[in-house]
Amino acid sequence: MSFLDIMAGIFQGFGVTAEVTIYGLLYAIPFALFAGVLQHFSTGIFRWCITAIIEFWRSSPVIVLLYAFYYSLPAFGIYMSAVTVGAMVLGLNAGGYASQSVRAALQALDHGQCEAGLALGLSRFTVLRLIELPQAIRVMIPTFVNEAIQLIKGTALVSLITLTDMTFRAKEIAQLSYNPVGIYSGLLLAYLIVCYPVTIFGRQLEASNGKIGRASQ
């Protein structure tokens, strides 16, 4: 089997890898923004609860979460597809890390801007939406891009819950061809091909935001 045949076989699983990644981002981004904002503004027991939820998803091993949700939940009458479980676990894990960037970005802002907005009669939510978040998002971009890349790489684990992603296809080919060096080198190259454009996009996004930031000063 030629190297091109190996790569073609591996990329047969790209559709599943892309599906889990896209759905995972739909979990990660809202969770990161929502949890980060709540952790920043909440106090007392409510802040402790938000922090506990974030740390659960951030600190638990992804592979254990995949097994727990996919194999254990049916015992309680809860059934989710492998794609849903993979996307949810990887997305919320990435979102847990990204939420700390959201919280830190909000904390770093000049508090005087919030006070000025409130003095003008704006509600606290309006100040957050129109003044604070737009500035904080520019700071969050590098972290969000990094977490997106980590999420793509993390999809390699969903082969453990029967999803036929690129890693699953590589394992199938390895079992048939007995060429682990060539196959897993191809798999490494495949993830590089998938992740590198995201890296380039992130750099361009950072550069464009840097220009906007300098223009607004």
Cα 23 to Cα 151: distance, rounded to the nearest angstrom: 11
One digit per residue, the tens of pLDDT, for the chain of length 217 reads: 788 999 999 999 999 999 999 999 999 999 999 999 999 888 889 999 999 999 999 999 999 999 999 999 888 888 899 999 999 999 999 999 999 999 998 888 877 777 788 788 788 788 888 888 888 888 888 888 999 999 999 999 999 998 999 999 999 999 888 888 999 999 999 999 999 999 998 888 877 766 555 544 4
Please provide the DSSP assignment of the chain as one string.
--HHHHHHHHGGGHHHHHHHHHHHHHHHHHHHHHHHHHHHH--HHHHHHHHHHHHHHHHS-HHHHHHIIIIIGGGGT----HHHHHHHHHHHHHHHHHHHHHHHHHHHS-HHHHHHHHHTT--HHHHIIIIIHHHHHHHHHHHHHHHHHHHHHHGGGGGGGT---HHHHHHHHHHHH--HHHHHHHHHHHHHHHHHHHHHHHHHHHHHHHHHHHHH-
- Given this model, what pLDDT does residue 210 score? 60
* pTM metric for this prediction: 0.88
